[in-house]
Structure 1
Amino acid sequence: MQLKFEHQQYQTDAVGAVVRLFEGEPNHKQLFELNAGGASPVVANRLHLPHSEIGRNLNAVQKAFKQPETQIGEHGLNFSVEMETGTGKTYVYLRTVFELNRRYGWKKFVIVVPSVAIREGVVQSIRAMTAHFQTAFDKPAFQFHVYSSERLNALRNFAVNHHIEILMMNIDAFNKDKNVINRVNESGNAPIQWISGTRPIVMIDEPQNMETDLAKQAIDALNPLFVLRYSATHKNPYHKIYSLNPIEAYNLKLVKQIEVEPVLAKNDVNGAYVVLKGFVPGKKKLSAKVEIHYQDKKETKKKTVTIASGDDLFDKSGGNESYRHGFIVNRLDAEAAEMVLSNGQIITLGEGGDALRDEVMKKQIECTIKEHLAKEKRLNPKGIKVLSLFFIDRVANYRNGGKFARWFEEIYERETGKSAAGAHNGYFSQDKNGDKDTNGSSAADEKTYDLIMRDKEKLLSFNSPLRFIFSHSALKEGWDNPNVFQICTLNETRSPVKKRQEIGRGLRLAVNQRGERVRDEGVNILTVVANESYESFAANLQKEYEDECGIEFGNGGAKPRAKRTRQHFRRGFTLDPAFLEIWKKLQHKTRYSVQFEREKLIQTACEKIKEMAQVQKPQIMVQKAVIRQTQTDGIWGEERSSRAEQADIDWEIPDVLHEIQKKTLLTRQTVFEILHRSGRIGEIGNNPQRFIDLATEKIQTALYGLMMEGIEYFRLPYDDSVYQQSLASWQELEQDGKEFFKNEHTFAINQKDGKKREKTIYADYIPLDSDTENRFALDCENYENVKFYFKLPKCFKIPTPIGNYNPDWALVMENQEKVYFVAETKNTGKGIQEGVDMDKLRETEQQKIRCAARCFAVFDGVAYRTVKKVEELA
């Protein structure tokens, strides 16, 4: 198959942006000059246009394409073109070569790439595009070479030939003094001088990977006439002259639309799960990040913690009994990428995992095959071959009967009734021992790239039965295929491949059997079968666009990013009588006592466990969501479907009574009686840890409810030292202020009207968390009978059986007499009458509020209220 290339308007614009930089330059087609030594004729590029004129052209181009205007002296003759992956970046800079030659007669071009993968991709593009450019530019004579230190004579040909010469170089081939190209030979010259003598136009592919001082010096050593930089993710956009960012490309339908099909494990918190995520080098001691099952007060969940040699995962897990014996870290070895535990277990970087991980990956393969077959049924009659790409992180999982190959063949043959032979294959680097894991940048990868590049067009033909491609990290960059419609990431590490890198392998618009682009929107849909939620996928993709492309998303649906700001306090507020009066009242410390009957607890807890939802087995959840993108609203997913399947796994049952006893502090006998009477013990086998978490929650709810009924607060004797200490903390804030993150709820103390603001302790901002709180602060400023108010600091806490409670506000109000309030602001919506509907609050909120009411009842002259508005404080 011969791919056909169309010249799109946006590509014409990108080429034209470069050409227009040099308007006024004469055509040098017939000219040549001698090299510095004069020994042999070197055909060199020449530039007559002064920099000042190029600078005026630059600003005109930037204005035309709505790019920030820059001064030519800022970056010299370095120019950047930004184009999203899949929109023909390589085509654009290769066409620019021929356009610059036609317009200005320049003949010598060097393309610099950062890796073998990208180099091989460009080589394949030039092979595929040669016929197209021959037709478009009236058969220009040109030579293309890939630099090799073993063929240095090719550099002389590059220098002396009179037709277009394109030389491709990997940056690693000429960025060190020891490189062959930089070594001085018997004649006293270094081979690189053949290139530098031609004043080549240098085109850098993915320049963000070549921003080190060493790389910059190497580029300068080429003595470029000027430098053109092409990328989708510029780190430093030197004189940006054209931009087609990912949002624009997506919404102009220049790339495939994206849908995500997440495959996730639910309720999966059983056993001693350990995944080694990475190493953290330190000055004194090596540490590592591991993901484990962590137990907090409420539930067991996955959490990443930092560990070092000698640490016990039992302690790091919050006392999870699964790690009680044998989980002390005996050794960390960053070089071998492994961690050794005291039970003898060796955990390699990226290995380990939960019992459901294999089930999730098997389901990912199934979803990919089903999606593939459905698209084949729809697209094959249109002459479009469908390809699916699997990324894996360990070659052994595919080759020689690896689990991925076994699962694929089982599922494929079950779904199609046909043999899987020939339908799938892997592209991996090899050494003398066979396939190997590599990072995509080694010499061993070159054959892999060569193979996949040679097969690129073959893969598009119905004549080849191969439709499912398995590859290692080698294909993370530099290779894509227009007919990749599914991408499935089977990485045991769960380490996130960059989303742009992941989807980039399949963003190009599809082609049919005649090699023509298919621009049907219903055809061009890329399905990413992911092991993360679509919300997470969208959020990570948006963050990459922000970080790598500098895209700023508006507020029309995307929550604006909070800004770090300093909050200042009103000078002298700690001497204000109103503040001192209420703060002195609030500084009394309290303690509480509780009473309840054991039998009533057993009865109440038993009833709550009877009523709790059935303990579900761990599930594998499959969703599907369309990804939407706009520069106004950001990136989000719209869910279209979801389904869940139970996973049948036999769990090792822990000591359930001990686990619940440890969390509730009740006796083993009491816990046993509660569970026995509840009739729910039979559900433990479904999901032991989830049963423990749920039953504990119900027992604690019953326990706390009884404690609330019998709670009694006592005010402790006044302690002047505690009061003075807290007053000193206020005085420190008065002096220095504090940092906070400003958001849409932050209340600004408006001083533009010239009025003095002395009703509160703040000089500029009050950090708040809701519209209700913001309205409350505004009313405090406007209501005449509010004489003083402020937000209670986080350190002000009321002790309760279910944890400390921090109320919202302190107020001094005055009508005929002065009244002191502590207020909690809640908004439960409009009810039958004004105020807060306590029944709509979470049970824990209700319990803390009831405790606070009893606590403040022992304070002198302080009333506690739960309100929505200031006017409700009577």
Structure 2
Amino acid sequence: MKFQLESPEHQLIAIKSVVGIFDGMEKNSSNNAQKEDIYTNVCSLYPQQIWSNIHKIAKENSIDETDIHFKETNDVCIEMETGTGKTLTYLQTAYALYKEYGLTKFVVIVPSIPIRQGVIDTFENFKDQLADKYGFTPNTFVYDSSRLSKLRDFITQDYPQIMILTMASFNTEDNILNRKEQEGLFNNSPHIESLGQTHPIIFMDEPQEGMDTENSVAWLSKLQPLFKIRYSATHKVKWNTIYRLTPAESYRLGLVKKIEVLTVAEKNDEATMKIELSAVQEAKSEPKVKLKFWKLNKTKGRFEFKESGFLKKGDDLAAKSGNDSYADFTISRIYKQMSNHRWMVVFTNGTSIEEKQTSANKEQVWGLQLEWLIRRHFDNTTRLKPQGIKNLSLIFIDRVANYMSVEHPIIKQLFEEKYKQLYPEYHKGKQPMEEQVEAVQGYYFAKTSQGEYTDSEASMKGNKEIYDQILHRKEFLLSFDSPIEFIFSHSALGVGWDNPNIFGIATLNESFSENKKRQEIGRGLRICVNQEGQRVYDKDDTPEDDLINQLTIVPNETYETFARSYQAEIAEDYGSPDAGPKMKPTHKGKPTHRVAFKLNGKDSVQHAFQEFWKRISRLTTYRVHFDEDHWSIGASRPSTP
């Protein structure tokens, strides 16, 4: 299978926007770009002409002046939602810049091996179709310190070149790229200096992933770029934004899948999975408690299950932990129960946690997640297979042993149990063969040098073999020839790869999930493809129940918590939670309909109620009688004022 090249309008606009930066520039040729042994990019425009072009492009793309973040620097931002084809967009931008202006030197900077693999994989998939479209194929390669001849060709040749490298390839003095040339070329200067003399156009893929640190900025400056073009859905540094495609716009235009959030957790399940009552301090006035919860370690930049200091009524767990998933967990009451003499903490969202109460049975929650993921998978397969669309589901786990352990592979066991249980319901009562149950499972886990599976995130990022498997087998996974339908992967592998035919995602974590919701969702947002490699779109008037492109997320938390975390990420990136797409909430397969209530914020209303309450609260007395066999509580009538 070969993916078919398309020319969607949003990609064409993004390409045109970058090309427009150099509007009015003299075309590069050997007359102006050849500098002794080095063939370089040159720009004949004055800075003021470029700044004028930037403002013009942003205005054409309906970007407000305040959102441009204009700065007189050779640095622009392209914002594109995950799944809308930014890699193919910047690769085609290189083609367009060569055709329009004769620019020949392009460097793609990526933050990690998986993203690097994704770039070269995209190029290999489309290079023949791109050659037909543009009439040439640039020399495209991954920088390799053991094959410096390719780098020398990049520096000297007048043919268009695209070099792909990670920040780690050149951001220390010890890197080969920073050592002096030993063969008498380029005046024996370090390769990075000669590379800088080519003044490449730099495409920064996910620049927020470590490319804006003081060290990275210093090393990037050594490349002396003609221009830096940033591509991301979640820019942290925003300068000269000339094109913007938000999640809401992508959703509205049908460029990504619609999203269903199918929850299985009840409110109190969520509380007991995330919080434990570890200590109580009794006092005459009001008791205090210590809780264990997922707290942000600012030094390490990750969440850890740690004990708090003593907390009292009114304390907000989100503020105390630095964890937005506790946004509705404010302590409303701390008391000892009369029935079992255990302490209880009640929160404003209606959930509670009891002393000596163990965490909710995670295996039970995992089982429910898998059950509903498999149900949705069977439903999707029934709809999609007749249309030539292979259906895939993705399951993220945070401990490889839970799937691969010889003694107790609990997640594998739960999956196979649920698969066998549900299969007859969707296949006219037939039971699956053991070989089939095994064959539908595929997994990608990293190994150490000793051949052992590992949970180490560093090992994940450095394990080239696993990304080769994921990326190079993408087309095979999309084919009906592959029996694999469920892909198990480590949650640390989330960034850097996706598959257009992922229709369901579940994250089965032993602990709190640190992955951003947008990151988890992004693995399955792309529009699906059929057996011919053609994207299959839904029509504008397609009923919700008949949608082809719908991604189901099965989280281990309530919809309110999931949606709040997602909207907080959207608000952080775009200034408003409304910039995100709508999500369809269902609970254990049934649609949920919620009525929203808002506090009347008028001071006069609040003041009137407070005055009313002050009057009646002092006028009520209580008489309480306890009976050993029956509790009876009575209240006297209000006394006369």
Give the TM-score normalised by the residue count of structure 1: 0.58
* Matches of 2:503 and 2:458, distance apart in 1: 23
Residue 380 of structure 1 pairs with residue 385 of structure 2: yes
1:95-134 pair list within 5 angstroms: 95-134=92-131
1:265–1:360 Cα contact (<8 Å) kept = no
Q: 1 CA distance for matches of 2:276 and 2:46?
A: 70
Q: How is 1:397-416 mapped onto 2 (pairs within 5 angstroms)?
A: 397-401=402-406, 402-416=409-423
Gap change, CA 1:108 and 1:643, over 3 Å in 2: closer
Aligned letter for 1:430? K
Do the aligned partners of residues 32 and 48 (structure 1) sit closer, same or farther apart at CA in structure 2, a change above 3 Å counting?
closer
Given that 1:111 and 1:167 are in contact with CA atoms closer than 8 Å, whether structure 2 keeps it comes out as yes
Q: 1:151 aligns with which of 131, 147, 154?
A: 147
Q: Partner residue of 1:525?
A: 550
d(CA) in 2 for partners of 1:243 and 1:539?
A: 24
Equivalent residue for 1:774, pick from 604, 610, 616? 604
1:495, CA displacement in angstroms? 2.5
Give CA-to-partner distance per residue, 1:720-779, whole Å, 9 cap, x none. Answer: xxxxxxxxxxxxxxxxxxxxxxxx99xxxxxxxxxxxxxxxxxxxxxxx635752476xx
The answer on whether the counterparts of 2:258 and 2:583 sit within 8 Å (CA) in structure 1 is no
Classify the secondary structure of the residue corresponding to 1:227. strand
1:372-401 per-position Cα deviation (integer Å, ceiling 9, x unaligned): 111111110100000000010000111134
Instruction: Give the greater-gyration-radius structure (CA).
Output: 1
Moved over 6 A (4+): 70-73, 270-276, 294-298, 302-306, 317-324, 847-851
- Letter of the 1:165 partner, please give it: Q
Is 1:368 matched up with 2:364?
no
Q: Which residue is equivalent to 1:454?
A: 472
Distance change >3 Å, CA 493–CA 322, structure 1 → 2: farther
Deviation at 1:482, TM superposition (A): 0.3
**How far does residue 413 in structure 1 lie from its aligned partner after superposition?**
2.6
1:543 is the counterpart of 2:568: yes
Q: Partner of 2:132: helix, strand, or coil?
A: helix
| Partner in structure 2 of residue 347 of structure 1 | none
What residue identity is the alignment partner of 2:401? A
Contact 2:70/2:240, CA 8 A, preserved across alignment? no
Residues 360 and 422 (structure 1), Cα distance of their counterparts in 2 relative to 1, 3 Å cut: same
CA-CA distance at 1:12 after TM superposition:
0.8
| Inter-partner Cα distance in structure 1 for 2:139 and 2:341 | 65
Counterparts of residues 460-479 of structure 1 (less than 5 Å): 460-479=478-497
Over 3 Å counting, the alpha-carbon distance change for 1:643 and 1:776 in structure 2 is: closer
Kindly provide the CA deviation profile for residues 518-548 of structure 1, in whole angstroms up to 9, marking residues without a partner as x.
0025100000011111222222211111102
Distance 2:46 2:634 in 1: 75
Q: Secondary structure at the match of 1:208?
A: coil
Residue 277 of structure 1 corresponds to 294
Query: What is the rounded CA distance, in whole Å, between the counterparts of 1:393 and 1:198 in structure 2?
Result: 44
CA RMSD of aligned residues (A): 3.7
2:499 alignment partner, SS class: coil
Q: What's the CA shift for 1:273?
A: 7.8
Asked if the contact 2:263/2:587 (under 8 Å) is kept, the reply is no
The 2-side partners of 1:7 and 1:118 are apart by: 23
Aligned to 2:445, which of 413, 422, 428? 428
Tell me if the contact between 2:203 and 2:229 (Cα under 8 Å) persists in the aligned partners.
Answer: yes
Contact kept? 2:262, 2:585, Cα under 8 Å: no
Q: Which residue of 1 aligns with 2:51?
A: 55
C-alpha displacement of 1:642: 4.5
Alpha carbons of structure 1 residues 444 and 109: separation in structure 2 relative to 1, 3 Å? closer
**Paired residues of 1:428 and 1:474 also in contact (CA < 8 A):** no
Q: In structure 2, what is the equivalent of residue 240 of structure 1?
A: 241
How many residues are aligned here? Answer: 547
Contact 1:152 1:191 in 2 (8 A): no
Q: 1:494 to 1:265 in 2, by over 3 A?
A: farther
1:19 maps to 2:19: yes
CA distance in 2, matches of 1:464, 1:237: 43
Equivalent position amino acid for 2:457 in 1: N
The offset of 1:176, in angstroms, is: 1.7
In structure 2, C-alpha distance between the alignment counterparts of 1:776 and 1:478, rounded to whole Å: 51
Whole-Å Cα distance in 2 between the matches of residues 519 and 110 of structure 1?
A: 33
SS at match of 2:405: coil
Q: Give me the whole-angstrom Cα distance separating, in 1, the residues matched to 2:635 and 2:175.
A: 73
SS in 2 for 1:15: helix
Mapping for residues 626-641 of structure 1, pairs under 5 Å: 631=579, 639-640=585-586
1:10 to 2:23 alignment: no
2:190 is aligned with what amino acid? A
Counterpart secondary structure, 1:253? coil
- Alpha-carbon separation, structure 2, partners of 1:529 and 1:53: 51
Are 1:115 and 1:441, in contact at CA under 8 Å, matched by a contact in 2?
no
Cα separation, partners in 2 of 1:387 and 1:281, compared to 1, 3 Å: closer
1:383 partner letter:
G
Q: Counterpart of 2:229?
A: 228
Q: Which amino acid aligns with 1:363?
A: L
Classify 1:354/1:183 alpha carbon distance in 2 versus 1 (closer, same or farther; 3 Å): same
Amino acid aligned to 1:125: T
Q: 1:295 deviation in Å? A: 11
Question: Following the alignment from structure 2 to structure 1, what is the Cα–Cα distance between the partners of residues 177 and 202?
Answer: 17
Which of 569, 576, 581 aligns to 1:552? It is: 576
Q: Secondary structure at the match of 1:809?
A: helix
Relative to 1, partners in 2 of residues 1:82 and 1:28: Cα closer, same or farther, differing over 3 Å? same
CA deviation after TM superposition for structure 1 residue 29, in Å: 4.0
1:501 Cα shift? 0.1
Cα displacement (A) at 1:185: 4.3
1:808 aligns with 2:610: yes
Q: CA deviation at 1:421?
A: 1.9
Superposed CA deviations along residues 209-239 of structure 1, whole A, max 9, x for unmatched, are: 2111111111111110111111101112210
Post-superposition offset of 1:442: 5.3
2:403, 2:100 → 1: CA distance? 52
SS in 2 for 1:421: helix
- The 3-state SS of whatever aligns with 2:439 is coil
1:87 counterpart = 2:84: yes
Aligned to 1:577: none
Q: Is the 8 A contact 2:393 2:502 kept in 1?
A: yes
Contact 1:117 1:440 in 2 (8 A): no
Identity in percent: 35
TM-score of the two chains, using structure 2 as the length reference: 0.77
Deviation at 1:165, TM superposition (A): 0.4
Cα 1:305–1:113 shift into 2, 3 Å: same
The one-letter code sitting in structure 2 at the alignment partner of 1:226 is F
Please list the CA deviations of residues 274-299 of structure 1 after superposition, one character each: whole Å capped at 9, or x if unmatched. 877357479xxxx964379x99999x
C-alpha distance in 1 between matches for 2:320 and 2:202: 47
Q: CA deviation at 1:355?
A: 4.7
The equivalent of 2:507 in structure 1 is: 489
Offset, 1:47: 0.5
| 1:564-620, Cα deviation, whole Å (9 max, x unpaired) | xxxxxxxxxxxxxxxxxxxxxxxxxxxxxxxxxxxxxxxxxxxxxxxxxxxxxxxxx
Q: Secondary structure at the match of 2:229?
A: strand
Please tell me whether the aligned partners of residues 76 and 242 of structure 2 are also in contact (alpha carbons under 8 angstroms): yes
- 1:605-624 equivalences under 5 Å are none
The separation in 1 between residues aligned to 2:486 and 2:362, in whole angstroms, is 22
Residue 11 (structure 1) shift? 1.0
